[in-house]
Structure 1
Amino acid sequence: MKLNKLSLTVLTLGFAFLYLPIVLLIGYSFNESRLVTVWAGFSTKWYGELFADDQMMSAVWLSLKIAMGASTGAIILGTLAAFALVRFGRFWGHTLFGSMINAPLVMPDVITGLSLLLLFVAMGQLFGWPSERGSLTILLAHITFCTAYAAIVISSRLKEMDLSLEEAAMDLGAHPFKVFWLVTLPIIAPSLVAGWLLSFTLSMDDLVIASFVSGPGSTTLPMVVFSSVRLGVSPKINALATLIVLVVSIAVCIAWWFARKAERDAQMLPDEE
């Protein structure tokens, strides 16, 4: 009985430590006062000022576009890298290739950002491309480090996949591309979605690497938030964070609903048979 009470207490304190700051942030987003920590009454004016802030909204759209492009590119390259690591056996340079894929996972962001900056500068001097740093260089940098996370997620799924399904399809005369499209891709689809969402989150959250490779007119949302927080937390930041929490919560609820629906459908199939 004492152990159950202790576990419940520890669980409650853990959830409070994680979610109480978020609850306070949401509450103060409806604060009338310009001072974040002084409650002066309920108001939604900061949401109106948030949408009227052209710099903030342009940074949001730029971050969304870069995150979607980076996550899509990372999934494509990560799938290719995962197939090379899992399906091609122990080829020459296999260990080196795997180490290079895993390097961004443990490399400090400062080192990654500085190395990419030097790479882009050297490429601009040698080839004339990229001619300047901007949204394109941020996109390329995000694809670079997001590919490692996508490759790890997809390769773990490929290792668990039953190869007999692909072999049976090829024995029935299916072309390798058709086998991949109709057999392999649906099986690894959850890992593709997970890798895409993880890459999207990492890209939206990145500040250090984007600060190195960005240029004039290519300010992402974390850069705008960081620069504004240094001058004092604005209630508009609370409103923006509240909207992000709302969107993420809706997405999680939708994913949970689809997962529960798929689980119920899977449980009903044996009964119907």
Structure 2
Amino acid sequence: MKINVSRQKPRVLTWQAVFSMLMFVFMYLPIVVLAFYSFNQSPYSARWQGLTLEWYGKLFSDQRILSALENSLIVAFCAVGIAAILGTLMAVGLARYQFLGKSLYRGVSYLPLIIPDIAIAVATLVFLAAFAIPLSIWTIVCAHVVFCLAYVCLVVSSQLTHLDPHLEEAALDLGATPVQAFIKVLLPQLIPGVVAGCLLAFVLSLDDFLIASFTAGSGSNTLPMEIFSRIRTGVKPDINALSVILILVSGIVALIAELIRASGQRKNSH
């Protein structure tokens, strides 16, 4: 009686795996170094003197940082709130209705996703100057609505592709008005996509520097603008600490948005 003993072949490290590892190191090693130097006791990042949490504590007593954070949150919440309403309606209109120039309108609505930020910033500044609109925190909000709208519409549109259109038709056949069918049937199914799109747009608005710097008025510094103004004299550990916090917040919000979006798609597919 022969007994066959299967031997597993040793795993060979392929070039694809090596390339992937190198790409991850290239992308995330600077973030690791940034986080490491945020605990540096020395006020200068170029010299290591020991571990400390002093710089994280100083952030919460820095009035300029707190004021910039307040401005960033006002801009992000206002821009995302407006984009959530308009982006959802735009996505539903593009998916459910036929009208003249629909293909052109669909292409134009997604342009902010591919146009460079510098082009959007310059175009917005020229538009504001042409109508003599004074720059303030609200002009930043208007500029951020432009690209937040595109991201919310994109995520909600992807959610719409997984929904059954016959549910709305059934609601209309049972006597519901189009508005009632939208509010009571379609909107509850779109909530995961709306929330995911809003979270993604919130992160992008919170992290934006280029568009905000072109459309901000006097005393309307956002957090990225405040960081940029400080690193002109050298990168200090307090800026490193602030950058680490922003990276963590952005990563957590983006992860939550993706989990909500994926959960909504699985729920609607069943």
Gaps of 5+ in 1: 125-129
In structure 1, give the amino acid aligned to 2:220: S
Any residues of structure 2 matched to 1:147-186 within 5 Å, and which?
147-186=149-188
1:21 to 30, 36, 42: 30
RMSD over equivalenced CA pairs, Å: 2.8
1:14/1:251 Cα in 2 relative to 1: closer, same or farther (>3 Å)? same
1:88 and 2:90 matched? no
Find the residue that maps to 2:217 and give its secondary structure: coil
Query: Structure 2 vs 1, CA of residues 65 and 44 (structure 1 numbering), >3 Å: closer, same or farther?
Result: same
Q: How has the CA–CA distance of structure 1 residues 143 and 252 changed in structure 2, closer, same or farther, with 3 Å as cutoff?
A: closer
Q: CA deviation at 1:257?
A: 8.5
Aligned counterpart, 2:209: 207
Q: Relative to structure 1, is the Cα distance of residues 144 and 175 closer, same or farther in structure 2, using a 3 angstrom cutoff? A: same
Match of 1:219 in 2: 221
When the two structures are aligned, how many residues end up with a matched partner? Answer: 258
Q: Which residue of 2 aligns with 1:58?
A: 67
Q: Percent identity?
A: 43
Cα distance between partner residues in 1 of 2:249 and 2:139: 28
Q: Structure 1 residues 207 and 247 mapped into 2: Cα distance closer, same or farther (>3 Å)?
A: closer
Q: 1:248 to 1:206 in 2, by over 3 A?
A: closer
User: How many angstroms does 1:59 deviate by?
Assistant: 0.7
Aligned-residue offset at 1:171: 2.5
In the alignment, the residues of structure 2 paired with residue 115 and residue 13 of structure 1 have an alpha-carbon distance, to the nearest angstrom, of 38
**TM-score normalised to the size of structure 2?**
0.84
Report the Cα distance in structure 1 between the residues aligned to 2:128 and 2:256, rounded to whole angstroms: 40
Question: 1:108 is matched with which residue?
Answer: 116
Cα distance in 1 for residues equivalent to 2:198 and 2:259? 19
Structure with the bigger percentage of helix: 1
5+ residue gaps, structure 2: 1-8
Question: Are 2:86 and 1:77 aligned?
Answer: yes
Q: CA deviation at 1:70?
A: 0.9
